[in-house]
């Protein structure tokens, strides 16, 4: 090589976030100060405690819905209005105060969530004013807490998964320079041996319009398939793994609190409360089907996800208002957040939401 020539080494850029809703990187002191000034709920801002979580050991789970009175008189008697989002899924309960709900009412709430898949409870000022510890205690009624291995949480309460977006113009532009949509359809934490059954979302602050969450009913999606196709997929086992998420976080320089977890779950699972069969698939954590070659897995996985995503007649869209609580069934739905509340000049409008997931049973296969 001539001495006048120089060699150029390409600098490896950090990967684009595969989920624009997650915050992987620890906020600087300057960013933290700005965020605290911009939110009425600073106690819910994300922190990154360098704690380590061992794998969750097996535990016995008793579904609270199975204890509930089918009439749900305690729960529904406490609400002033009940309405449906769609005929098949989604219920809005107005006038209900979660801060005073009894254990009997919580059991009935679990049953309603199992039956209707999504329960929206607006105007939860008192419940939110109780603070994070009270909300974690509330969700402990529905199962063991999940400790998020990456992204921001609340100091001392690692069950909280915090999503906070304010501005982030450069990050959003970078994301959409490579991605065609912000949607990432998934079930939460499906890679755990005992994934969440019930999940709570709470909106603290949000845009006047936008930032909805869309859900699809995976039991109804299963029913739409032909009997021959259903019998073909019933025995399939899917490999769920958090390895890609862990490696992605490390590549971005984010904090990791747990080793990767891998579990094998039935592609079709049976709901312990309703008895319905659901397609247990998502576009985030499944890495393959046991006994399938990669092209076979991809063809079948793509077909099932396409079938669910195009099934607008078994989907429901939740439009958020601040201080709304949503509890959904993670076993019979798949969902995606929608990042549409931004413009190229200012970036994203403030959106501050928390998630609490209650770990439940080992997914039950067909014919067990």
Residue 230 pLDDT grade (very low, low, confident, very high; cuts 50, 70, 90): very high
Higher per-residue confidence, 367 vs 193: 193
Percent of the chain with pLDDT over 90: 71
Q: Give residue 11's pLDDT.
A: 40
The pLDDT score that the predictor gives to residue 17 is: 66
Tell me if 165 is assigned to some domain: yes
Residue 3 confidence (pLDDT) above 50:
no
Is there a domain that residue 16 lies in?
A: no
Query: Are 246 and 232 in contact, with CB atoms under 8 Å apart?
Result: no
Inform me whether the pLDDT recorded for 289 exceeds 60.
yes
Give the pLDDT confidence of 297-352 residue by residue, as tens digits. Answer: 999 999 999 999 999 999 999 999 999 999 999 999 999 999 888 877 777 788 89
pLDDT tens string 240-260:
999 999 998 888 888 899 999
pLDDT of residue 135: 98
Q: What is the DSSP string of 127-182?
A: HHHT-HHHHHHHHHTTSEEP--SSS-BBTTBTTEEEEEEEE-HHHHHHHHTT-S-S
Give domain status of residue 212, yes or no.
yes
Beta strands in the chain (DSSP E): 81-84, 91-94, 118-121, 144-145, 160-167, 196-205, 213-217, 237-241, 262-266, 268-270, 277-279, 286-289, 315-318, 324-329, 333-337, 342-343, 347-359, 364-365
Q: What is the pLDDT of residue 228?
A: 98
Tell me: the pLDDT tens digits for 49-105? 889 999 999 999 999 999 999 999 999 999 999 999 999 999 999 999 999 999 999
In the structure, what pLDDT confidence band is assigned to residue 292 with cuts at 50, 70 and 90? very high
Report pLDDT digits (tens) over 22-60.
665 556 666 667 777 778 899 999 888 889 999 999 999
What lies within 8 Å, CB to CB, of 128 at 6+ separation is 41, 135, 202, 204, 323
Is the pLDDT score of 18 beyond 80?
no
Residue 130 pLDDT class (50, 70, 90 cuts): very high
Q: Is residue 248 part of a domain?
A: yes
The CATH number of the domain holding residue 325 is 3.60.130.10
In a domain, 175, yes or no: yes
- The answer on pLDDT for 221 being more than 80 is yes
The confidence score (pLDDT) of residue 28 equals 65
DSSP 331: S
pLDDT at 8 over 60: no
Arithmetic mean of pLDDT, 250-277: 94
Q: What are phi and psi of 115, to 5 degrees?
A: -80, -40
| Domain range for 356 | 29-365
In a domain, 15, yes or no: no
Q: Is residue 144 part of a domain?
A: yes
| 20 is a domain residue | no
Q: For residue 19, is pLDDT > 80?
A: no
Percent share of the chain, pLDDT over 70 = 90
Are the C-beta atoms of residues 10 and 237 closer than 8 Å to each other?
no
Q: What is the mean pLDDT of the chain?
A: 90
Number of structural domains in the chain = 1
CA 49 to chain CA centroid, Å, is 21
Identify the CA nearest to 39 among candidates 204, 171, 239.
204
């Amino acid at each position: 090589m001539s001495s006048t020539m120089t060699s150029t080494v390409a600098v490896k850029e950090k990967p684009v976030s595969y989920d624009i809703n997650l915050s992987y990187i620890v906020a600087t002191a300057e960013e933290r100060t700005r965020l605290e000034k911009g939110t009425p709920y600073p106690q819910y801002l994300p922190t990154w405690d360098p704690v380590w979580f061992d794998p969750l050991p097996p535990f016995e789970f008793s579904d609270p819905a199975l204890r509930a009175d089918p009439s749900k008189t305690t729960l529904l008697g406490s609400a002033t209005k009940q309405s449906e989002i769609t005929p098949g899924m989604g219920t809005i309960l107005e006038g209900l105060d979660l801060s005073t709900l009894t254990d009997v009412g919580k059991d009935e709430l679990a049953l309603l969530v199992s039956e209707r898949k999504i329960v929206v409870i607006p105007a939860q000022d008192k419940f939110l004013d109780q603070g994070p510890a009270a909300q974690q205690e509330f969700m402990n009624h529905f199962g063991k807490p999940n400790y998020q291995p990456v992204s921001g949480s609340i100091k001392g309460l690692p069950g909280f998964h915090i999503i906070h977006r304010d501005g982030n113009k450069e990050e959003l532009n970078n994301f959409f320079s490579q991605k065609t949509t912000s949607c990432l359809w998934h079930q939460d934490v499906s890679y755990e041996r005992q994934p969440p059954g019930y999940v709570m979302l709470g909106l603290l602050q949000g845009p006047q319009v936008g930032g909805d969450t869309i859900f699809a009913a995976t039991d109804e999606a299963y029913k739409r398939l032909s009997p021959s196709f259903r019998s073909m997929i019933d025995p399939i086992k899917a490999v769920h793994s958090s390895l890609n998420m862990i490696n992605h976080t490390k590549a971005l320089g984010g904090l990791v609190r747990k080793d990767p977890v891998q579990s094998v779950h039935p592609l079709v699972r049976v709901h312990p409360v309703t008895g319905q069969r659901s397609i247990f698939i998502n576009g985030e954590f499944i890495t393959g089907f046991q006994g399938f070659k990669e092209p076979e897995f991809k063809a079948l996985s793509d077909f099932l996800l396409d079938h669910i995503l195009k099934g607008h007649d078994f989907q429901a869209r939740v439009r958020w208002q601040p201080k709304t609580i949503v509890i959904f069934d993670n076993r019979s739905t798949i969902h995606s957040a929608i990042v549409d509340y931004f413009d190229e000049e200012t970036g994203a409008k403030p959106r501050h939401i928390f998630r609490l997931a209650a770990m439940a049973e080992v997914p039950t296969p067909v014919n067990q």
